[in-house]
């Protein structure tokens, strides 16, 4: 059940990111066509692409967290044993989790103040809380992704192994059980 939900969520997140990036490209092409071929500029295109870019930037943080794409120094970590590497990764993930948990209340207060102000975007009239909710949603998603990785590293520490994802761990458990 959890595995099915996780796969579904991963596909949804990736599809949303692809849709946002394609949407940015389409809106910008329409703006270029409108400006240079029709001789008139669209008032809303820059605003819409900016908001799509904000969402894609924040969602990419969660995606990078899931895919473990971050700046790190692997040379030092490789010097440790499997258990040592797992402990270093657990420590790193704990610091990351603390950082995002620290940011969540600030993102919440920021979103609340935007909702209370009733602010809307100038060109499209979009309520700004749609845009301002990106940090809060991103930080919550990052916490979920970090906890998934934290528990995987804990399993690596306990089992003295080095699984990169839950599927590898499940496959190894099936082989042991067979």
Nearest to 127 by CA among 116, 138, 118: 118
The answer, yes or no, to whether residue 165 has pLDDT greater than 70, is no
Distance CA 24, CA 16 (A): 12
Element holding 82 (H helix, E strand) = helix 82-117
Residues pairing with 127 in the sheet: 120
**SS3 per-residue string spanning 97-164:** HHHHHHHHHHHHHHHHHHHHHCCECCCCCCEHHHHHHHHHHHHHHHHHHHHHHHHHHHHHHHHCCCCC
Instruction: Give CA 115 to chain center in angstroms.
Output: 23
Q: What pLDDT digit, counting tens, does each position of 108-138 carry? A: 999 999 999 999 999 888 999 999 999 999 9
The answer, yes or no, to whether residue 1 has pLDDT greater than 70, is no
Q: What pLDDT digit, counting tens, does each position of 13-72 carry? A: 889 999 999 999 999 999 999 999 998 988 899 999 999 999 999 999 988 888 777 776
Distance CA 172, CA 107 (A): 40
Res 139: pLDDT = 95
Report the chain's terminal Cα–Cα distance, integer Å.
22
Q: Where are the domains of the chain?
A: 2-177
Token pair in block for residue 23: 């949407």
């Amino acid at each position: 059940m959890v595995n099915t939900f996780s796969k579904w969520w991963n596909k949804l997140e990736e599809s949303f990111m692809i849709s946002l990036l394609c949407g940015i490209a389409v809106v910008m092409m329409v703006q270029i066509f409108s400006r240079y071929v029709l001789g008139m500029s669209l008032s809303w295109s820059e605003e819409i692409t900016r908001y799509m870019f904000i969402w894609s930037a924040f969602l990419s943080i969660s995606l990078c967290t899931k895919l473990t794409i971050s700046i790190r120094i692997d040379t030092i970590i490789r010097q440790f044993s499997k258990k040592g590497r797992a402990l270093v990764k657990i420590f790193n993930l704990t610091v990351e989790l603390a950082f995002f948990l620290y940011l969540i209340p600030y993102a919440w207060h920021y979103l609340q103040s935007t909702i209370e102000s009733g602010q809307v975007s100038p060109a499209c009239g979009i309520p700004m809380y749609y845009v301002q909710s990106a940090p809060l949603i991103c930080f919550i998603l990052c916490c979920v992704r970090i906890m998934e990785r934290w528990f995987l590293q804990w399993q690596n520490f306990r089992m003295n192994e080095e699984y990169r994802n839950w599927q590898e761990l499940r496959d190894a458990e099936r082989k042991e059980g067979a």
